[in-house]
Structure 1
Amino acid sequence: MAGMRIVVCLPGSAAGRVDEAIAEAMAPFEREKGLGAEFDIWDHYRICGGASGNGFAVQAGFEADPRLVHDRPRYDGTSEPSLPGMCAGGPRGLLDLSANHAESVALAGRAWDLWADLSGRHPAPQPYEPFLERSKAEMGVPPFALFHEEGEPDPWTPAFERYQAQPLIRAYLSALDELRSAARTHRYGSGFLDIWDPLRDVGGLSREDFIRGRSRSDGANFPHVLTLDGWWYGDGEEGIHRACGGRAVCPHVPDIASGSQQDVQRHLDGVPDDALLVYLSLHI
């Protein structure tokens, strides 16, 4: 079993009965209780995201709006308030889906600036490759070897450790860890500011190129969506329509071109302002 995140879209008329409307929309996809086969996806879920920072940023001026949706209690009954400016959902017009892009640009800029600042205070490091060559030579591993089998010498781990032990690399990775933790960078998708070779991945790029490569140009990080018309999309896969018995027998035209995160984002950008977007964490 694993976890999944999804944004469920509801019509504005569901504003007074969000929990019930979510249950109705999700029911066809419940494992062993829904439509079966392709629809066996989840076994329990919770409305959440405001407290973790994974949910939605709120448009400025609407932070206290009663129409916003906040995290439901955990399974043990405990609850957490949303972070300032965050929520688990609400009317599309109250949510700032562009916030992740603006914030990720700012954070990527800070990450590059950290390298520039620390580079002026520490000796220039050696690149990773000489450390790997040295480790291979010490262990008798052929220079052209790309990986090792179980039980064979592993030159990559010690080379990696030696490379990262250099003063500038060590100082940068430590400062980057603090930045990632303080900024809850998991909101911007897997791999955001995950850097193992700073000399190449930061020092080898201009500030503009680094920001362009690291920031989220597609807005929020919502990889799955259940649309107003009942289509479930995600992970780049073809949608599943809850009104039909499966992809092979569905006669309807999908309402999203594909399940890519970019298409999901474009779809969320275009839903009516009164439609509700609600963030769920699923156990699948």
Structure 2
Amino acid sequence: MSHELLTVCLPPMEVRAIPEGIGRAMAPFDMNGDHEPWQGEWDAWGIGGSAPFEVRPEAESDPRLIRVEDTPGHSARPPLPPSLCDGGPRRLLDLDTRREAVAARAREDWRTWHDFARAFPPARTMNELRQEFCALHGAGPDDRFRGQFEEQEVIRAITESPAVLALTTGMYDPVQQFAEPEEVHVDRLRSRVNTTDALLTLDGRWLDTSAPSYFAFADAYLLRVPEDCFLVRVRFHC
């Protein structure tokens, strides 16, 4: 059992009707329900969560924006600033600025690594070394072959490049991190900016990360939801 984050898409309605609208949309996925066909996804939910939306400039005080204040306590979320909200009509939400900033940074990082790495022999990923080692010696901790990974020329040379060292500090495997083609890398990171663990579409489909290409679909879907429809963050327990 865990807590996860859902983005609920709702048709235009009065703000005061949002909780009821969410309840209707989520009812077919109640784990304790007797609906047919049965699809249990949650047993408790509430508006809000750890990934608020950014608000378009000059829309911060629009009464259609949703901001939930947690009950005071040690785990309560601090009140949201005017630039953030838990939901609202899509036209009031800024789904572009941070998304494109992340894409630009992802592209810059990918090129920084590949400009650096092309001067060295192709390196192997930790996963490749793990599979090879475990096939011979059985399963076990990665530190058994970590040294083999770190002895590769490109990995040893990282400390000689301040830019690459800063980029890869704390990164488990930079070879794997930047192994995919540039556009795939950029699209993967971009698609995770506005999306959450699950998506409830306007036509009542519950989709989550178990679905193939979930993040790419959810990212594109949120951008094409009609501007007067609501997008709302909902935390749920499953």
- In the superposition, the TM-score normalised over structure 2's length comes to 0.69
Alpha-carbon spacing, 1:260–1:32, altered in 2? closer, same or farther (3 Å): same
Alpha-carbon spacing, 1:58–1:10, altered in 2? closer, same or farther (3 Å): same
Unpaired stretches in structure 2, ≥5 consecutive residues: none
Distance (Å, rounded) in 1 between the aligned partners of 2:48 and 2:89: 15
Moved more, 22-31 or 108-117: 108-117
Residue 101 of structure 1 corresponds to 99
Residue 43 of structure 1, CA deviation: 1.8
Residue 158 of structure 2 corresponds to 168
Alpha-carbon spacing, 1:158–1:283, altered in 2? closer, same or farther (3 Å): farther
Residue 42 of structure 1, CA deviation: 0.9
Q: Conserved in 1, the CA contact under 8 Å of 2:45 and 2:234?
A: yes
Moved more, 74-83 or 35-44: 74-83
C-alpha distance after superposition, 1:155-195 (max 9, x if no partner): 423323555973625966763378x9xxxxxxxxxxxxx66
Of structures 1 and 2, the one scoring higher in RCO (CA 8 A, sep 6+) is 2
Alpha-carbon spacing, 1:10–1:125, altered in 2? closer, same or farther (3 Å): same
Match of 1:197 among 167, 174, 177: 174
Distance (Å, rounded) in 2 between the aligned partners of 1:64 and 1:90: 12
Match of 2:205 among 216, 223, 231: 231
In the alignment, structure 1 residue 270 sits paired with structure 2 residue 219: no
Structure showing greater radius of gyration is 1
Aligned residues: 226
Q: What is the SS of the residue equivalent to 1:16? A: helix
Distance (Å, rounded) in 2 between the aligned partners of 1:70 and 1:109: 33
Distance (Å, rounded) in 1 between the aligned partners of 2:15 and 2:52: 18
Residue 141 of structure 1 corresponds to none
Residue 276 of structure 1, CA deviation: 1.0
Alpha-carbon spacing, 1:177–1:30, altered in 2? closer, same or farther (3 Å): farther
Residue 283 of structure 1 corresponds to 237
C-alpha distance after superposition, 1:46-95 (max 9, x if no partner): 3224xx4x232222221332321124416947232336633221001111
Unpaired stretches in structure 1, ≥5 consecutive residues: 137-143, 181-193, 238-257
Task: Kindly report which structure 2 residues correspond to 1:87-126, keeping only aligned pairs within 5 A, or say none.
Answer: 87-112=85-110
Residue 215 of structure 1, CA deviation: 2.0
- In the superposition, the TM-score normalised over structure 1's length comes to 0.60
Residue 28 of structure 1 corresponds to 28
Alpha-carbon spacing, 1:46–1:162, altered in 2? closer, same or farther (3 Å): farther
C-alpha distance after superposition, 1:1-29 (max 9, x if no partner): 13432211222224223223323322332
Q: What is the SS of the residue equivalent to 2:13? A: helix
